[in-house]
Amino acid sequence: MVEKRNKQTPRKKQQSVTGRTAISVEMWRYHLMWAVVLLCFIALVGRAFYVQIINKDFLQNKANAKILRTETLKAMRGVIYDRHGVPLAISTPIMKIVIDPRDYFDNKKLFEETTAELAKDPNNRKLKRQLPDKNLSLDELADAVGMDRAELKRKMNERPRSRYLVLKKEVPPQQAELIMKRDFQGVYTEKNYKRYYPQPQPNSQIIGLTNSEGMGIEGLEMQLNERLSGVDGAQQIVRDKKGNRVKDPEIVKEVESGENITLSIDSRLQYIMYRELTAAGVANNARSATAIAVDVKTGEILAMTSWPSYNPNDKKGVLNKDAMRNRGAIDSFEPGSTMKPMTVAMALESGKYTANTVVNTTPGSMRVGNHTIRDTHNYGPLTLGGIIQKSSNVGVAKIALSLPYETLPTFYQRLGFGQRSAVKFPGESAGLILPKSKWNVSEVATMAYGYGLNATVLQLADAYAMIANKGVKMPLSLYKLEEKPKGEQMVDPKIADQVLLMMEAVTLPGGTARQANIPGYRVAGKTGTAHKLRADRKGYSTSEYRALFAGVAPVSDPRLAMIVVVENPTGQYYGGLVAAPVFARVMQESLRLMNVPLDKPLDTPKIQ
């Protein structure tokens, strides 16, 4: 029994060790399994954290690229009004037809693949639901938008992954709506605005025009582009894979419409001025005719236009670049005898002359340097008023040369000649006053009667408005003013009044501009007939002239200053015969429309 026990004891020990080893292995497997599970869990959590937190923008953008489209909402361009609220430039809604080539080709591929699968299993409802239901015919699309079929296919195949291809611009909303009803794949519209000018020719050279993208490229449209343009908005559209909208657009950026601008221009006066310039230009077979009217009390430009002009509503009209120029601001020229009142004002200001001072112009010519200054007649002794009335070159030359040479050009510069006006119109010329080193006897003598310097119509209007406003210069403005600006006293009021009365004699019997008379109104002014420089700039032409008239009315209480310039008239070419009648017709209707009181009897004998 003892031996049996001894033999069995070791056997029991072996079984015990074997049991513990098995349990250890099982526990190790147990822990390993949970470690693997835990690691997988941590990996899943980490991946979820990476996807949803760290890399969420990338994935969101990928998703959005499939279902979201951001569209620009074009801002409406501001309206340009005249001083009475009449629109001169407005924007009308116009549509642009656009296609998404990538969307089109993706859905076309899906259609072809789904159709092939359906051929194998015609009753598969799931495949039928996946089938794109929009119009995939490019031929029908080309016909609808008025494109060549081959050209549309070529453009699409050249840019298969593009998201934006313009099919047609400037489509009327009604026509765009009909196209969209045909439900073409990937086709949508963008709302834009087309600029329209209700009174084109009279105003186009001031207002200018915009390009096909709505950006100002000429005139005030260009100068005020930032103010007129406004700020575009944006909206997001959610679409399904077939291109259908699944909810209403969401505005992500509000549209800010452009600013409305009110000009100083009176469209009634502008029309009258353009009509008369056109008639005069055609009647005299002239190259061009330009005029400007300024309110002398405020400096507001009430009318400024030129013939020939152009129609910015017609794309063919913009081919004539010469007609697009605002000649009143851009062109500079020798103003001729219209500068003589300024020379006389300078003489009175010097203290050496009075209104009754007599200047002997006999024998009607004088030698200065290497050339001769001539009058049309020998006028003999003339007062300062007589010099203006008869337009004596000899008289003003003698006055200018009797004073230090710098007196006259310095006076002109003080009045604003040789520098841009307060208007600052795009491309405006500053004119030209020769530098001080050139102020010699010949230059000063010729400057006295308007040669040897260049001026613009704006500068002349500025100077004549100053004389009419008792010597106070008001800054010229193309914008309607809410309150009267502060002017600058350039000339003594007594001197300005004296010069104004001298200019009135020009329109009376014995003057050079009797055709500038207006029934019921006293008119003051000055004619100008200037020889034009030859093309080679070597001397002056004997066949080309510039006819001018600068005037003010009514003399008793001046309201308007007006300049008329006719370039290259044929036949008669004197300012008093060509430009003065235009002044009279435009000024008469302007004063009537402005309800300016008469300042002389209407029964004035008619001039023969």
Nearest to 417 by CA among 332, 344, 533, 540: 332
Q: Could you tell me if residue 382 is inside a domain?
A: yes
- The reply to whether 152 falls in a domain is yes
Same domain membership, residue 215 and residue 234: yes
Query: What tokens appear for 490 in the block?
Result: 């350039």
Q: Is residue 94, in this structure, part of any structural domain at all?
A: yes
Residues 273 and 192 in one domain: no
Same domain, 172 and 285: no
The answer to whether residues 210 and 280 belong to one domain is no
> In whole angstroms, how large is the CA radius of gyration of the chain?
42
Q: So what's the pLDDT on residue 293?
A: 98
My answer on whether 340 and 192 are in the same domain is no
In a domain, 145, yes or no: yes
Q: Which residues span the domain enclosing 433?
A: 267-312+327-593
Same domain? For 226 and 293 the reply is no
Interacting residues of 66 by C-beta distance below 8 A, sequence separation 6+:
241
- Domain annotation covers residue 116: yes
CATH number of the structural domain spanning residue 209: 3.90.1310.10
Give a yes or no: residue 46 inside a domain: no
Half-sphere exposure of 38 (CA within 13 A, CB side): 6
Model pLDDT, residue 39? 86
Same domain, 271 and 160: no
Residue 52 confidence (pLDDT): 72
Among candidate residues 267, 306, 337, 429, the one labeled active-site is 337
Length of the chain in terms of residues written = 608
**Does the pTM exceed 0.85?**
no
Residue 1: what pLDDT?
A: 41
The pLDDT of residue 503: 96
**Rounded to the nearest 10 degrees, what angle do helices 340-350 and 457-468 cross at?**
50
Reference 263, options 92, 481, 65, 410; nearest CA is 481
The pLDDT mean for the chain works out to 88
Q: Which positions of the chain have pLDDT values less than 50?
A: 1-9, 11-14, 608
Same domain, 257 and 285: no
C-alpha dihedral sign at 60, 62, 63, 64: positive
* Statement to judge: residues 424 and 517 lie in one domain: yes
Residue 208: predicted pLDDT: 94
The answer to the question of residue 288 being in a domain is yes
Measured between alpha carbons, how far is 108 from 127 in angstroms, rounded to an integer? 15
Same domain, 447 and 347: yes
* Domain match, 77 and 99 both: yes
Burial class (CB in 10 A: 0-12, 13-18, 19+), 518: buried
Could you confirm whether 337 is annotated as catalytic? Answer: yes
Domain of 562: which CATH number? 3.40.710.10
Asked if residue 9 is part of any domain, the answer here is: no
495-530: pLDDT as tens digits? 999 999 999 999 999 899 999 999 999 999 999 998
- Angle between helix axes 407-415 and 457-468 (nearest 10 degrees) is 90
Same-domain pairing of 566 and 473:
yes
The total of structural domains in the chain comes to 2
